[in-house]
Amino acid sequence: MTDLQINDQALTLKNLRAVWQAPVRLSISDIARSRIEASRAKILEVLASGGQVYGVNTGFGLLANVRVSDDELDHLQENLIRSHAVGVGNALPDEIVRLVMLLKVRALAQGYSGVRPLLVETLCGLINHEIYPVIPSKGSVGASGDLAPLAHMAGALIGIGDVRVSGKLMTAADALQNAGLKPVRLAPKEGLALLNGTQVSTAIALAATFRTEHLMAAALIAGAMSTDAIKGSDKPFDARIQDIRGHDGQRDVAAMLRELLSGSDIRASHLECDRVQDPYSIRCQPQVEGACLDVLRHVSRVLEIEANAVTDNPLVFDDAVLSGGNFHAEPVAFAADYLALSIAEIGSLSERRIALLVDPHMSGLPAFLVEESGLNSGFMMVQIVAAALASESKVLAHPASVDSIPTSANQEDHVSMATFAANRLHSMLDNVNSIVAIELLSAAQGIDFHHPRRSSQVLEKALQKIREFSPKFESDRSLKIDVDEVSALIDSGHFFSKCSSILPSA
DSSP letters along 157-177, please?
Answer: HTT-SEEEETTEEEEHHHHHH
**Strands 24-28 and 2-6: what pairing?**
parallel
Cα angle value 197/200/203 (rounded, 5°): 120
Rounded Cα–Cα distance for residues 395 and 385 (Å): 16
Question: Residue 255: its pLDDT value, please?
Answer: 98
What span, in angstroms and rounded, lies between the C-alpha atoms of 442 and 473?
10
**Amino acid (one-letter) located at 348:** S
Beta bridge partners of 2: 24
Do residues 257 and 502 make contact, with C-beta atoms less than 8 angstroms apart?
Answer: no
What is the pTM (predicted TM-score) of this model?
A: 0.96
Residue 133 has φ and ψ, to the nearest 5°, of -55, 145
**Beta strand extents in 247-329 (DSSP E only):** 315-316, 321-322
Sign of CA dihedral 18, 19, 21, 23: positive
Alpha carbons 486 and 316: distance in angstroms, whole number: 50
**Would you tell me how many other CB atoms lie within 10 Å of the CB of residue 65?**
9
pLDDT score at 395: 97
- Nearest Cα neighbor of 310 from 197, 442, 414 is 197
* Half-sphere exposure for 57 (CA within 13 Å, toward CB): 15
Expressed in angstroms, the distance from the first to the final Cα of the chain is 19
Q: In which region does residue 263 sit, left (phi positive, over 0), alpha (psi from -120 to 50) or beta (all else)?
A: left
Q: What are phi and psi of 394, to 5 degrees?
A: -60, -40
pLDDT given at position 53: 81
Residue positions annotated with a catalytic role: 54
The mean pLDDT values, 10 residues at a time, for the chain of 506 residues are 93 98 97 97 90 80 77 87 96 98 98 97 98 97 94 98 96 98 95 96 98 98 98 96 98 98 93 82 98 98 98 94 94 98 98 98 96 94 98 97 88 92 98 98 98 96 98 97 98 97 95
Which pLDDT value is given to residue 499? Answer: 97
Alpha helix stretches (DSSP H) within 158-279:
172-179, 190-195, 199-229, 239-243, 248-261, 265-268
SS3 342: helix
Query: Given this model, what pLDDT does residue 385 score?
Result: 98
